[in-house]
Amino acid sequence: MKFHTEYLHFETKQHREYIHITPQIEEILKRSGVKDGMILVSAMHITAGIYVNDNEEGLIHDIDAWLEKLAPFKQDYQHHQTGEDNGDSHLKALLIHHEVILPVTQGKLDFGTWQRVFYAEFDGRRRKRVIVKVMGE
């Protein structure tokens, strides 16, 4: 079995952003030489996440609005007593989750028709990392 690891780096301009990263994942898969296996994609920060969904602007807006409704920015999070102001970012990341595992078949991502991979940033404007680990043969 082969293992191949690379890192993606992000420094978003906005506090919250959703970045389509499928092309980067496909390039890493190609460099790995793996034909059958899986890829772990994991945000290495507690205020960011990785998810799979449709790359459609209206849906991305709806996801953002839904997350803001479930975990709104507000001043009274107990976490803010530590001097931080990003309690909502931690909660949004929990809802999205920090990682996905993607199937690889015949050297390609084995996705449904509209599935794409996204990096979700909830506390941006600073450098963050995502690990991409390809495993297989």
Q: Is residue 79 assigned to a domain?
A: no
- Residue 80 lies inside a defined structural domain of this protein: no
What's the CA gap between 41 and 130, in Å, rounded?
7
Q: Give the CATH number, domain containing residue 91.
A: 2.60.120.460
How sure is the predictor about 117, in pLDDT bands with cuts at 50, 70 and 90? very high
Into how many domains does the chain fold? Answer: 1
Residue 51 maps to a domain? yes
49, part of any domain: yes
- Does 78 fall in a domain? no
The boundaries of the domain holding residue 94 are 2-73+86-136
pLDDT at 3: 98
**56-104 pLDDT, tens per residue?**
999 999 999 999 999 999 999 999 989 999 999 999 999 999 999 999 9
Q: Is residue 40 within 8 Å of 131, Cβ to Cβ?
A: yes
% of the chain residues with pLDDT over 70: 100
CA 61 to chain centre: 16
Q: Give the C-alpha separation, 31 to 29, whole Å.
A: 5
Residue 81 lies in a domain: no
Does 26 map to a domain? Answer: yes
Residue-level pLDDT at 96: 97
Paired residues of 18 in beta bridges: 120
